[in-house]
Structures are given as C-alpha cells and as structure tokens.
Structure 1
Amino acid sequence: MTTYPTNFCPQCGAELTRRDVEGRERRFCPDCERVVWRNPVPTAGVAVVGPNGVLLTERAVEPGVGEWAVPGGHLEAEETPLEAAVRELREEAGVRADPDDLLLLDTFTATPFEDKHVVSVGFAVRDEDTTGTPDAGPEATAVGWFTPESFGDGGERFHPPHGERFRNAWDRLG
C-alpha cells in the first residue's frame, strides 16, 4: 500500500507494471505478483464550540498556509480517530479534551495536494468540556474563535473544505 503513486514495488523493488484489477487499472508487481494498492491518508479533527464561536487555527504549513481550519491532522500508527483528534487539538491549539466527550460530526475527502489524497473524520466538543487556553502550536500561526457571522471580517478564508466542518459544528452545538 502506498500514499503516493510509485513506479517500484515497496516489497521487492521491482519495476511495476499496470494491470486491470477489479475493474480499475492498478500498479502491479510482476515479481511478487501482488497489487500495489494506493490508498488515502486518514486524518481527524475536532471543532471546539463555545459561546464565542468555533475555535479555528490559521495554518502555518502546506497545504493552505494562511488559511483557517478546524484543528486536526494525520492519525499515528495504532491511534484511533478519536485519539488523533484530541492529540491534534492539543498540539495545534493548546486545548485538551477527553475522547469520550467528542461527538462524531462528519467526514470529508480533501482536495488532493501533491497527489496525496486525504479522508478526514470530524468531531465536535463543547468548550465547557475542554481544558487549557487556546494557543497556536508549531503548525499554526494563530488561533481564534469565530461565528458564521464574524468569520471573514478580518479577511480570513477557509482551507477547503473546513468551512463545511465549521458550519456543521456550529449548527450542531452552537
């Protein structure tokens, strides 16, 4: 399995060919006689919703430097989406939450970046069920609370499709 397109087998290093498998053209290793599956990367995020709005981070890393998003990121090995969501919230925004307090919100497929495909699982939590003072972590340049009415007043723009997750969280808990 690979995240990016590959020309060589990750198992044995042989040059890959193409073969129709299950109705789709896929990379195939003629030496190992195995399909080299290409799969999206799982991510998770959590929207904190309080009386002042939804907590967002301004991205300091690609894709979308300078755009605003719900805190989130890649799952680590042996980590559930709930665990990843609370870890990313802590790392990106300095806020802690208990995975048991999160509500499943949505899923989305992000626009591919550098040919990497991402599927994200979104959660929401009430601000009263979190601890810590929001503070931008190393992958964010700022954090802020926004309502649908206030977002964009300072020229902010969403990293797509985080605007949908923001609205879903506000509609559900705001």
Structure 2
Amino acid sequence: MSYTVETSAVSYCPACGASLGARETHEGERPYCPDCDLTLYRNPIPMARATVVDGDRALLIEMGEGRDEGAWALAGGHCLCDEPPAVTAARELEEETGLSVDPADLTLVGDGFLRFEDGVSMVSFNYAAAAADATGTVEAADDAADARFWTRTEIEGSPPLLRASGRAQVLDAIDRLGRDR
C-alpha cells in the first residue's frame, strides 16, 4: 500500500501515527511505516482552472486567501478524487465567479507543473470557455476576493498573475476563443 502526502517533511504515519523510517524504492528512498507497511510518496496534487473569454477579454479572479492572496489568476482548485479535471474547472469557475459552463464546452488551453516555496507541487490543467457558452452573473464568491474581465492589453501589461505561464495561457485562450465570437 502507498500513500501520497503534500508536505516534504513527514515524521509520523498518516494511517496509524507511528514514527516513520525509510524504504528504498525504484524511485529512491521514501518515508515508510514499519508498523502498518505504508510507503509515502510526494506526488503533485492535480488541480484545474478555467476562464471565460469574451472577445479580447478573459475572466480572472483575485485570490482572497492563502499563499497567493491578492494575486490574479484563473478560477480553479483541487480535483476531487472522483472528478475529471474539466469537471473540476467548471465547478471551481462557478463557485468563484458565479458563471456556469458545461465541462464539455471547455477547451484545454494548457497544462503545467507548479512548485511553491513551501515544497508543495501541483499539476494544473487550464481551460477556457467562450462567453456565449456561460450563464450567470459575474460575482466573486468562495475564496475569490474579486472577479472581473481583463482586456488583452491589461493582461499584456503584467497584472499580478500567479505565474507568467498563466498569463501566456490566458492570452492563448483569448486568441483561440475570442476571435470566433
């Protein structure tokens, strides 16, 4: 049996609470619980994000809490254990912005690997939908402090997005979906 953990420093077994030792695996040394035979792995956490594109504008949220509070990004969050990334992206978009889209209407505009200063790593699937496919009214909710459409010019002017790759993917979404509307 194996177990995935988010943090890099683990001293006790998350299953039984015993002190951890180490075990050599084909991927190198990993934390191991000799009491319950549990090996711990640090795998990236899957997340999905989404934006809505309206002409030359894309919807972003201001992070309202956490390590990136105040930064602007695509609405998004962690995938639930039984949830495909497109479903996560649609759910998070609605929770954080009030706009609803069918996961089938989302276009994958990129993916990436994110590593944070605290050692946490994530794999992100980034989606976009055309405004014509969205319903609802933009209103920041859940852990978003604000939600608004940014023009291509504003985005190119380097708003405080989480990562430069996020900016590139938002611009790609505008190019791919905005020209068709």
When normalised by structure 2's length, the TM-score is 0.86
Equivalent AA in structure 2 for residue 16 of structure 1: L
Q: How much has 1:113 moved relative to structure 2?
A: 4.9
Alignment of 1:59-138 (within 5 A): 59-138=63-142
Q: How much has 1:30 moved relative to structure 2?
A: 2.1
CA displacement, residues 57-94 of structure 1 (integer Å, 9 cap, x when unaligned): 11111221111101111112322211111110011111
Do the aligned partners of residues 47 and 41 (structure 1) sit closer, same or farther apart at CA in structure 2, a change above 3 Å counting?
same
Distance 2:67 2:88 in 1: 19
**Higher mean displacement: 50-59 or 89-98:** 50-59
* Count of aligned positions: 173
Structure 1 residue runs of 4 or more that deviate by more than 6 Å after TM superposition: none
Q: How much has 1:152 moved relative to structure 2?
A: 6.8
Alignment of 1:46-61 (within 5 A): 46-61=50-65
Q: Which structure 1 segments of 5+ residues have no match?
A: none
Distance 2:55 2:37 in 1: 57
1:159 corresponds in structure 2 to 162
**In the alignment, which of 19, 29, 32 is matched to residue 25 of structure 1?**
29
State the Cα RMSD in Å: 1.9
Q: Which structure 2 segments of 5+ residues have no match?
A: none
Q: Secondary structure at the match of 2:115?
A: coil
Q: How much has 1:171 moved relative to structure 2?
A: 2.7
Q: Please tell me whether the aligned partners of residues 82 and 102 of structure 1 are also in contact (alpha carbons under 8 angstroms).
A: yes
Q: How much has 1:20 moved relative to structure 2?
A: 2.5
Q: Secondary structure at the match of 1:3?
A: coil
Distance 2:56 2:139 in 1: 16
